[in-house]
Amino acid sequence: MKSILMISLHGYVGANAELGKPDTGGQVVYVLELADRFSRLGKRVDLVTRQFEDQPEYDHVDDNFNIWRIPFGGKKFIRKEDMHDHLKKFVTNTLAAIKKENKKYDVVYSHYWDAGWAGQKIAEELGICHVHTPHSLGWWKQHTMGSDMDEIEMEKTYRFKERIRKEYFVYQMCNYVIATTLPQVDLLIQQYDVLSRNCSMIPPGIDENRFFPVPSKENDKIRLKYDIKPTDILALGRMAHNKGYDLLLHALPTVFELCPEARLVAAIGGDSQQDRDGIEKLKELAEELGITDKIKWKNYISDEDLANVYRSASIFVMPSRYEPFGMVAIEAMACGTPSVVTVHGGLCDLIDFGNQALFADPHRPTEFGAMMAMPLLYPNLRNEMSVEGARFARRNFGWTGIAKRMLTIFNSSINQQTMETNIF
């Protein structure tokens, strides 16, 4: 197995990813890191995505790794929920481009259901196997959000019926599904009828060369640079309903009652109008709760500053309503920052509670607030979580090891398909 066609369609995918832009977050980091490690391991990788706005056709990352943009759906940004309408054109244009460039691949590896649907069609046309990573599941997202949104409005916004139907097709037809959490594996089997032999879990990874602890004296200097205090709680990520930042604000009065010196540093969202509107709603909620003066709002954190911002906080918090995995928490832990994560995701199933991290239900604000306060109240607990959390993150989530496990599945799937083809 020498050559991999990776597909990730939505958001701004590039050699220098514009993280924080719409639909551009953890999945983009995931595919870029994996592609980079595949290339380091001697595989040729074309990461195919959508060309729009004024993006170039190619980003040449290194001798083995290119980002290849295929135009479809016009020049404007298309949100991932509306990518349905343009996938057939993407398949046609991609197959034509592959033929024109005379490219050969051994496996298609797709990400999220939109690329999965297209990747299955492309793999069938090319006569090669298809491995897919869902990142999130429509059934899970729909049922998790059911109590928070009007059903008609939810369907209009997220188009779950169409998504779940296409997901079912992808998961049934592809050669193998690599989930990022154990609960995803269970849902694939129970809700999508995937055969247990055709799916398994490999967690996401972290860049071990970027995310690591530093001595406390060095961290004091970092805090001064970023205006972050030793008792600050950090929340960081995209501005999205599922991230649960409103739930976090409701939990803060409990934190401040127990730890009056605490403060929230909210590095949330990007530069889009939608993000700015979301931040304004959060600020209004903070005003209603009487905690405005206890929150420091930060603009989007650049990639080169990310590790230091993680390191400078006393605690990292992930209050998501649902979270396929939660790489931001793993990155924070790898930097030695104790983390409090949601129970509505796969990460909490892997954690030794109270040793490597803490978890709680953000829908119960007193519970979630109490968990955030624990490392602030008990320095020995905070130190234990700092050391053990960093060890846990680095030992289990280094990208090179993750990539090697992926390649084993690719080779197995290719061999299985070859055997089945030879029968006929």
pLDDT tens by residue, 323-348: 877 889 999 999 999 999 999 987 88
DSSP state of 314: S
Confidence at residue 148, expressed as pLDDT on a 0 to 100 scale: 60
Lowest mean pLDDT among 82-96, 208-222, 232-246, 318-332: 318-332
pTM (two decimals): 0.69
For 127-177, what is each residue's pLDDT tens digit?
Answer: 999 999 999 899 988 887 765 667 777 777 888 898 999 999 999 999 999
Domain ranges of the chain: 3-205+399-423, 216-396
Question: Is it true that 3-205+399-423 and 216-396 share their CATH fold?
Answer: yes
Average pLDDT over residues 200-209: 88
pLDDT surpasses 80 at 209: yes
Confidence at residue 317, expressed as pLDDT on a 0 to 100 scale: 98
pLDDT surpasses 80 at 37: yes
Average pLDDT over residues 361-385: 97
- Is 3-205+399-423 a CATH 3.40.50.2000 domain? yes
Q: Which CATH number fits domain 216-396: 3.50.30.50, 3.40.50.1000, 3.40.50.2000, 3.40.50.300?
A: 3.40.50.2000
Mean pLDDT of all residues belonging to the chain: 93
Confidence at residue 149, expressed as pLDDT on a 0 to 100 scale: 66
